Structures are given as structure tokens and as C-alpha cells.
Amino acid sequence: MAVALSTFLTTCLEFAALYAAVYGCNVAAYFAVCGAIDYLNRRNPERRIQKTRRGDKRIREEIRHSLKSIAVTAASLSIGVFALLKGWTPFTPFELTWWTAVPLFLVTMVLFDAWFYFGHRLLHTKPFYKYHLLHHRSVAPTVWSSDSIGLVDTAICQGFYAVVPFILPIPPVILVAHRVFDHVNGTFGHAGFEYFESRTARHPWPLLCATYHDLHHSEFRYNFANYFSVWDRLLGTAHPGYDRMVAALEAEQAPMRFVGPPVPEPQRPARAPAAADAPAAPAE
Ligand SMILES: [Zn+2]
Ligand SMILES: [Zn+2]
């Protein structure tokens, strides 16, 4: 009995140490990636997606909510990694080689894309929208918006990391790599600036660019997917003007600046998004 209790306490302490490290790394990655993309935004003001809206007034609030929601994401990732390290999953993870790493990473992308799409659709239904409204208060998203999500919303969308090791023999490194990729992808997707317009980001390609999720924030009822546009196109939720907008951006975007001092924004009548801009009811 004493041995069992001691083993249990040791396991709890091991999990707590892992969770603290994962939360700390997530927070550090949040500030590092947001800071890097903000640097880029300040040098490429012509690339702003919503020309007359600004989300800057909400940044402090977005950071505050992000520090809470990252606690839930870190818990999900820690549960997945811990289960794998302890051998609690039904399968032994594949050995990590290039031959296993690349296909497994792609499989997790496809699985997460489906998980996110249907979880996100669920969050736009009447009973669940109250959990998602906080994220939609960022009508003009900023680099700091990606994790500005309610705790239930985060548990639904980011619970993937705690579940996938039980259905896929995935090494812990791939799970962590996927989380890093998702974090960078999500931050670019909320940056409010477009850097990835290209033919491959529109029909007939399944990929997408930042304008895709930005349209979800500005118009609410379209573009629920995260990595690929396939589910939106199959189920009729893709924004009807998205492909045309990307094609126009390919033709007119200014060259990117990576160095030099910040560039002032072109003068335009600014319209700050009010909280009331976010719909209080589900968008479906
Ligand atoms: Zn939404
Ligand atoms: Zn979003």
C-alpha cells in the first residue's frame, strides 16, 4: 500500500514537472513567435488584410486570455506526451526515422484538420457558441489573437494532443513538432497580414493562406478549417470570394521587407472593431 502510494505520488510529481516545462515553453514560444511576426508586420504595412479595421486595442486582453488558454493546451500536450513516455498507449510508437517521421507528421496534420474543422463547427452551434464568443471578439485578429480562446473552446480544439497517441503510434517528438507547427501556423493565420498568397493557396489546391482564417473572423460564417480548405469546400462553408481575393493579392502585393526601420501605415480612415461587431449568436 505504501509502495503504491509512493509510486502514485512520484508519477504525479513527474507529470507536474513535465506540465510546468511544457507550459513554460509554450508561453516562451507564444511571445517569441508573436514578437517575430509583429516585427514583420511593422515593416510590411501594405500587406494588412482588413485595411480599415484595427484590433490593436484588444492586444492586452488577448495576451491575458492567451496565458490562460495555453494552460489548457499545455495540459493536453502533456497528457499525450506523458502517456507515450509511460507506455500507457495501446500501441508502441513507431521508431523515429525520416521514413516514419514525415508520413506520421502528414497524418497528424490531416487528422488535426478534421478534428479542428468539426470541433469548430460544433462551437458555432447554439449550445456551444458561448464558449467560442471570446475568440470572435477579435474581429480584426492580431498576432496575439491565436490563443485568445475560452478554456472550454481550447479543450475542444486542442484536446487532440491528449487523444491522438491513443489512436496513432506516434513518437512524442512528432506530437511536439506538430504542436510547434500549429502554433506558428496559427499565429500567421491571425497576424492580420498576408505573406503566403500563391496559386497553391487557392482552388484547386487544398492549401490556404492567412486571408482564409481572417475572413472567418471578419465574416463569421465561412472558413472553419485550419490547414486545408477541403472540408469547407466539400461541406459548402468556404468563403465564396476567397479564391478571387487570393488571385488579386498575387497580382498586387508589394515586395516583402525583412529589415530596416518600421514603415508607417498608409493613411486610411481607421475603424476600430467594437466588441459588438462579434455576433452574440452562432453564425450558422
Ligand atoms: Zn469561429
Ligand atoms: Zn481565430
Q: How far apart are CA 260 and CA 278, in angstroms?
A: 36
Residue 125 lies in a domain: yes
Q: Which ligand has the nearest atom to the CA of 226?
A: 2
pLDDT for the residue 3: 83
**Residue 178: partners with Cβ closer than 8 Å, 6 or more residues away:** 105, 108, 109, 112, 161
Tally of domains in the chain = 1
Residue 272 has pLDDT above 80, yes or no: no
Domain extent, residue 223, equals 2-277
pLDDT for the residue 276: 43
HSE-CB for 213 with a 13 A CA cutoff: 30
Residue 212 lies in a domain: yes
| pLDDT tens by residue, 36-60 | 999 999 999 999 999 988 888 999 9
- Supply 10's cell numbers: 512520484
Q: Which ligand has the nearest atom to the CA of 153?
A: 1
pLDDT for the residue 266: 80
Residue 283 lies in a domain: no
Q: How far is the CA of 64 from the centre of ligand 1 (A)?
A: 20
Q: How far is the CA of 187 from the centre of ligand 2 (A)?
A: 9
| pLDDT tens by residue, 191-215 | 999 999 999 999 999 999 999 999 9
pLDDT band at 265 (very low <50, low <70, confident <90, very high): confident
Q: How far is the CA of 226 from the centre of ligand 2 (A)?
A: 9
Question: In this structure, how many other beta carbons lie within 10 angstroms of the beta carbon of residue 29?
Answer: 16
Residue 105 has pLDDT above 50, yes or no: yes
Residue 131 lies in a domain: yes
Q: Which ligand has the nearest atom to the CA of 210?
A: 2
| pLDDT tens by residue, 140-194 | 999 999 999 999 999 999 999 999 999 999 999 999 999 999 999 999 999 999 9
Q: How far is the CA of 156 from the centre of ligand 1 (A)?
A: 12
210 and 49 Cβ atoms separated by less than 8 Å: yes
Whole-structure pTM value: 0.91
Q: How far apart are CA 245 and CA 253, in angstroms?
A: 11
Least reliable range by pLDDT among 15-19, 91-95, 154-158: 91-95
**Residue 165: partners with Cβ closer than 8 Å, 6 or more residues away:** 80, 83, 84, 89, 93, 175
124 and 283 Cβ atoms separated by less than 8 Å: yes
Residue 284 lies in a domain: no
Residue 282 lies in a domain: no
Residue 74 lies in a domain: yes
**Residue 113: partners with Cβ closer than 8 Å, 6 or more residues away:** 225, 226, 227, 228, 230, 231
- % of the chain residues with pLDDT over 90: 85
Q: How far is the CA of 219 from the centre of ligand 2 (A)?
A: 12
Tell me what the pLDDT averaged over the chain comes to. 93
Q: How far is the CA of 175 from the centre of ligand 1 (A)?
A: 24
pLDDT band at 270 (very low <50, low <70, confident <90, very high): low
Residue 259 lies in a domain: yes
Q: Which ligand has the nearest atom to the CA of 131?
A: 1
Partners of 271 in the β-ladder = 53
pLDDT for the residue 271: 56
Partners of 207 in the β-ladder = 228
Q: How far is the CA of 136 from the centre of ligand 1 (A)?
A: 6
